[in-house]
Amino acid sequence: MTQPFTSPSPEALAILNALQDAVTNCLDKKKRLGQYAVIWRDGRPMKLNPDGKVSEITSEPSPTR
């Protein structure tokens, strides 16, 4: 049974805004530190580089010690 779409409550919108702000701040910090971030795009994990370019993550064997 599906429920009809209703607009989100003010509390839900406040939570969504807080989460969006937190993610934006985290990605901005990673960019300033020169670190990459892993994001989800088109159903696949992707690497967001500090220069803003997005690249596919390839599996590489882990180095042995």
Tally of domains in the chain: 1
Classify residue 64: in a domain, yes or no. no
Classify residue 23: in a domain, yes or no. yes
pLDDT of residue 9: 96
- The domain in which residue 19 lies consists of 11-56
pLDDT of residue 37: 96
Higher pLDDT, 56 or 1: 56
In which band, very low, low, confident or very high, does the pLDDT at 5 lie, cut at 50, 70 and 90? confident
Classify residue 4: in a domain, yes or no. no
| pLDDT at residue 1 is higher than 70 | no
Classify residue 27: in a domain, yes or no. yes
3-state secondary structure the chain: CCCCCCCCCHHHHHHHHHHHHHHHHHHHHHHHHCCCEEEEECCEEEEECCCCCEEECCCCCCCCC
14-65 residue pLDDT tens: 999 999 999 999 999 999 999 999 999 999 999 999 999 999 998 776 666 5
